Amino acid sequence: MKTSTCDGAPAGSSEAGYRVMKFWRIVDWYSPTQYISESAFGMSRGGFDVRVIAQQYTGTTMSNTEAEPKQEETKPNSRLVDRAPFDESNKDADIILRTSDQVDFYVHKFLLSLISPVFATTFSLPQVIQSDGDEVVGDHRVVLMSEDSTSLFALLTWCDPRCTPKCSDLGDIQTVLRIADKYDMENVIRRVGEILHGMVTTIEEEPLKVYAIAIRYQLQPDVARVAARKTLRLTLEERANISELKHISGTALQNLHTTIFLAYELSKCLPPILTGSQRTWSMFGVQPISQASGIV
């Protein structure tokens, strides 16, 4: 009767070699259907399908189970001065959004209704005009917003075709995603996700934050996968004090930790095969066990 080793390795196969194959599949998230080369490291995969490993640890398990929503703490922004094209010169505007810092944005109900079902519902409610005149400016109905002027302006630039949105850092990304999620702007969330996916340097420098953001707002799967892969390079100290993690579920965090733990465990089999050189380790995007802070 056939036996297996190393968590299911086919009988007669090299235990270390099998673990290398598993490790390769977990780390190589850029091409999840690609097999390890027949001649790589002088061994054969023997027809053993290892794609399930990649699927288990990088695909379906990356989805976020809804966590309890928490009120995000935001730093107060300075009151916006230049709000073009959403100022009084926007003659065709038919409604005003008034921010928490008392800045009025002249916008088009039609555009916002198309992109946000929340705004569509708000604009369909009967208009109530108070005697003190606080609810109208000229012929324009006023809708009171809880966002400050800087944050709302950032969101509106993603909703109006006359604007070119700017997201220079993760702070800008999170601001837009937070408000877009509040108003159910799926199109905006998708487009911001595409921008984040292209911010290679940011993902390289802050992969754990990007992973948490991608999971929280259910961005394109590739964003979370690439970010998760980059976290393999982090030391234990670099994983501390990431406030974004409090907004994702324990399941999503456990999936990431499982992937990291398994990658390091499997990497223990690599030195006898790959000599443990720095050049070889860099192929997998992780540190040797001896250099991994806090890993025994």
Quote the pLDDT of residue 129.
55
Q: What is the pLDDT of residue 36?
A: 36
CA distance 136 to 97: 11
pLDDT tens per residue across span 76-123 = 555 666 778 888 888 889 999 999 999 999 999 999 999 999 999 988
**Angle between helix 170-182 and helix 149-156 axes, rounded to 10 deg:** 80
* Banded pLDDT at 241 (limits 50, 70, 90): confident
Mean pLDDT of 122-146: 75
Q: Is the pLDDT of residue 211 over 60?
A: yes
User: What pLDDT was estimated at residue 33?
Assistant: 38
C-alpha pair distances (Å), 2 with each of 43, 108, 187, 260: 20, 70, 53, 31
CATH number of the domain at 69-162, please? 3.30.710
139-183 confidence digits (pLDDT tens): 888 999 999 999 999 999 999 999 999 888 899 999 999 999 999
* CATH 3.30.710 boundaries in the chain: 69-162
Element (H, E) at 141: strand 140-144
Side chain identity at residue 145, one-letter code: M
Q: pLDDT tens digit string along 262-280?
A: 777 777 776 544 444 443 4
d(CA 250, CA 248): 7
CA distance 108 to 99: 16
Per-residue pLDDT at 61 = 37
Enter the pTM of the model: 0.63
How far from 69 is each of 25, 72, 97, 248, CA to CA, in Å?
Answer: 34, 9, 25, 9
Comparing 11-20, 118-127, 201-210, 211-220, which segment has the lowest mean pLDDT?
Answer: 11-20
pLDDT value at residue 127: 67
pLDDT at residue 293 greater than cutoff 90? no
Least confident of 69-78, 203-212, 215-224, 281-290: 281-290
For the segment 37-89, what is each residue's pLDDT rounded down to a tens digit? 333 333 333 333 333 333 333 333 333 444 444 445 444 555 666 778 888 88
